[in-house]
């Protein structure tokens, strides 16, 4: 399927520079013109120090520049806006409406509700830093200063190949061990790797897919790792909620395991554990806040236990490191803590579009055949790259051809979902990621180009695929810590305990709006 997003050539035909717009605005005495000249960015780390040439000349379509800005709910836990910095340039409208197809794709709300999937792409397009993630660094600092608390942190795969950009390093530089060293310097008691729970997610998700295929379950199965995508589905395509995998994301799976398996192994009171996650994604903040993300509370029968207590974006971690005057490049590399940090190459590529699918196909092949996958499945080219919509077919002995699709960016999700609804495509498994390019270009990543560029996405992507290629193990089921957690605690994939702790449910959010526009 072809991506619905316009090509560069098509876009260039309609573009109007901000310089031209502000000339127009000045002639009409619009407040926005004055604001652009006088406000600047107040030296904020996220917004730079005022208008720089790259920001000032960034382009946007003329209609966008007179349409204002996206609405942001004051109670949004993921993103916020500083009105003093907003220049009404319309770039947030451009990305929300044209790239993510959220704003403008519904009629007026029935109730007082603001449609937002919390993806944070607007934070990456905003030239002044007016729109940012909700800053939760103070919560982390307070937790670290409390001697009665045991503060544990996990880091997502995409953060380690982007954090360095905030410290002058080249995009795609893998600073995994320096990131761990910085977290230890900040005072975290334990540092675990979300790559471990990416392998855990694959074990559950691949098992669920196999059950659906063998038992004539609802197909295609949709991935559920991206909270922006999940909310998009709940909001605009609630009739397809049964297709969503019930498996939690790697972040919330590891959060649950920290307060159950880890707490049990280390004999730590789970109510004294503060679980922090470093994520490339603003939507992870709202995911952590979902009421159903409380697996540990179910096991321990303590209602206030959350899977994850605090989520920081990559940008927030950079600010936290800088505020503590930590010289990242001078640190001695440090390793993750054992128990829940070993990972396969399959876990490492979760951060790129197509990575979840490739990882799942490898393990599904083993689950079905009992044999190691053939070499082509370790380099599944049809699902790699930055193209918005990709398809592949894999022959697996015993079940025949498994047809899969991969989609990133919600503007690309619509034609995929509509093709499924119309019966035009019969896939078995579809991977969706909310942000174009996947987690490497998540809404919480460094703003190294405005708007985000494919060049930077490609460098970050290359770094994660390189980790997979160099990995000693490249299959999730070969992870020895994964094997241990099933043997000692979970039983087997999709067992009763696994469902209790590692799976979730979803809700129809379309009730807040009139039916979407045709």
Catalytic residue among 245, 249, 341, 408: 245
Question: Residue 255, CB half-sphere, CA atoms under 13 Å: how many?
Answer: 29
Q: Sign of the C-alpha dihedral, residues 314, 315, 318, 324?
A: negative
Q: Answer for the pair 121, 69: CB distance below 8 angstroms, yes or no.
A: no
- Is 116 one of the catalytic residues? no
- Is 208 one of the catalytic residues? yes
Rg of the chain on CA atoms, in Å: 22
For the beta carbon of residue 174, count every other beta carbon within 10 angstroms: 19
Q: How far is CA 401 from CA 331, 361, 398, 406, in A?
A: 49, 12, 9, 16
Q: Answer for the pair 203, 482: CB distance below 8 angstroms, yes or no.
A: yes
User: How far is it, in rounded angstroms, from Cα 473 to Cα 346?
Assistant: 8
- Is 225 one of the catalytic residues? yes
Catalytic residue among 119, 126, 439, 494: 439
Tokens of 287: 């995911």
- Is 284 one of the catalytic residues? yes
Q: Which residues lie below 8 Å from residue 235, measured CB to CB, with a gap of 6+?
A: 115, 117, 509, 510, 512, 513
User: How far is it, in rounded angstroms, from Cα 273 to Cα 268?
Assistant: 8
Catalytic residue among 133, 287, 316, 358: 287
CA angle 341, 344, 349 (to 5 degrees): 105
- Is 478 one of the catalytic residues? no
Catalytic residue among 265, 292, 391, 481: 292
User: How far is it, in rounded angstroms, from Cα 386 to Cα 454?
Assistant: 8
SS3 category, 420: helix
Catalytic residue among 259, 284, 390, 467: 284
Tokens of 140: 């982390």
Catalytic residue among 133, 165, 208, 478: 208
SS3 category, 132: strand
SS3 category, 399: coil
- Is 205 one of the catalytic residues? yes
For the beta carbon of residue 505, count every other beta carbon within 10 angstroms: 9
Please name every residue paired with 54 in a beta bridge, in sequence order, or none if there are none: none
Token look-up 């000249």 returns 37
Please name every residue paired with 404 in a beta bridge, in sequence order, or none if there are none: 392, 429
Q: Is 127 left (phi over 0), alpha (psi -120 to 50) or beta?
A: alpha
- Is 94 one of the catalytic residues? no
SS3 category, 418: helix
SS3 category, 189: coil
Catalytic residue among 205, 234, 431, 478: 205
Q: How far is CA 276 from CA 249, 255, 273, 287, 430, in A?
A: 15, 8, 10, 13, 29
Q: Answer for the pair 318, 187: CB distance below 8 angstroms, yes or no.
A: no
- Is 516 one of the catalytic residues? no
Q: Exposed e or buried b for every residue in 131-149, given b needs 16+ CB within 10 A?
A: bbbbebeeebeebbeeeeb
Q: Residue 240: exposed, middle, or buried by beta-carbon count in 10 A (0-12, 13-18, 19+)?
A: middle
Active-site annotation, residues: 205, 208, 225, 245, 284, 287, 292, 439
């Amino acid at each position: 399927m072809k991506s619905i997003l316009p090509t560069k050539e098509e876009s260039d035909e309609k573009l109007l520079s901000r310089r031209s717009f502000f000339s127009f605005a000045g002639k009409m005495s619009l407040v926005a013109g004055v604001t652009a000249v006088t406000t600047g960015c107040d030296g904020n780390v996220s917004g730079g120090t005022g208008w720089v040439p790259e920001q000032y000349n960034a382009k946007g379509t003329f209609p966008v520049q007179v349409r204002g800005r996206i609405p942001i709910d004051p109670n949004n836990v993921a993103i916020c806006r500083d009105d003093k910095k907003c220049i009404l340039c319309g770039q947030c409208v451009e990305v929300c409406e044209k790239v993510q197809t959220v704003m403008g794709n519904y009629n007026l709300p029935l109730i007082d509700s603001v449609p937002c999937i919390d993806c944070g792409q607007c934070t990456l397009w905003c030239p002044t830093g007016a729109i940012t993630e909700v800053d939760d660094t103070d919560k982390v600092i307070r937790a670290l200063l409390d001697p009665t608390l045991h503060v544990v942190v996990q880091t997502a795969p995409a953060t380690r190949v982007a954090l360095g950009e905030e410290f002058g390093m080249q995009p795609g530089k893998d600073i995994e061990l320096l990131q761990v060293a910085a977290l230890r310097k900040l005072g975290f008691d334990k540092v675990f790797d979300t790559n471990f729970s990416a392998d855990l997610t694959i074990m559950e998700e691949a098992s669920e897919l196999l059950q659906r295929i063998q038992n004539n379950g609802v197909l295609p199965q949709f991935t559920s790792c991206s909270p922006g995508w999940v909310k998009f589905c709940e909001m605009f395509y609630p009739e397809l909620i049964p297709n969503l995998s019930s498996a939690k994301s790697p972040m919330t799976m590891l959060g649950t395991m920290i307060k159950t398996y880890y707490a049990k192994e280390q004999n730590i009171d789970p109510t004294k554990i503060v679980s922090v996650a470093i994520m490339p994604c603003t939507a992870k903040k709202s995911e952590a806040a979902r009421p159903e993300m409380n697996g540990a509370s179910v096991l321990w029968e303590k209602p206030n236990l959350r899977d994850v207590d605090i989520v920081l974006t990559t940008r927030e971690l950079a600010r936290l490191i800088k505020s503590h005057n930590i010289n990242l490049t001078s640190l001695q590399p440090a390793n993750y803590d054992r128990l829940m940090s070993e990972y396969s190459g399959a876990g490492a590529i979760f951060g790129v579009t197509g990575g979840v699918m490739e990882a799942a196909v490898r393990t599904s092949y083993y689950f079905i055949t009992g044999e190691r996958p053939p070499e082509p499945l370790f380099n599944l080219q049809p699902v790699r790259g930055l193209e918005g919509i990709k398809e592949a077919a894999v022959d697996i002995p015993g079940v025949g051809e498994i047809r899969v699709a991969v989609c990133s960016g919600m503007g690309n999700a619509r034609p995929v979902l509509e093709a499924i609804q119309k019966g035009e495509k019969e896939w078995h498994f579809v991977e969706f990621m909310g942000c174009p390019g996947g987690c490497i270009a998540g809404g919480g990543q460094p703003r190294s180009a405005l708007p985000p560029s494919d060049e930077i996405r490609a460098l970050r992507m290359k770094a994660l695929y390189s980790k997979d290629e160099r990995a000693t193990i490249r299959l999730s089921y070969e992870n020895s810590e994964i094997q241990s957690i099933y043997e000692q605690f979970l039983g087997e994939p999709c067992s009763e305990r696994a469902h209790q702790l590692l799976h979730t449910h979803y809700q129809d959010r379309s009730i807040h709006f009139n039916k979407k526009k045709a």
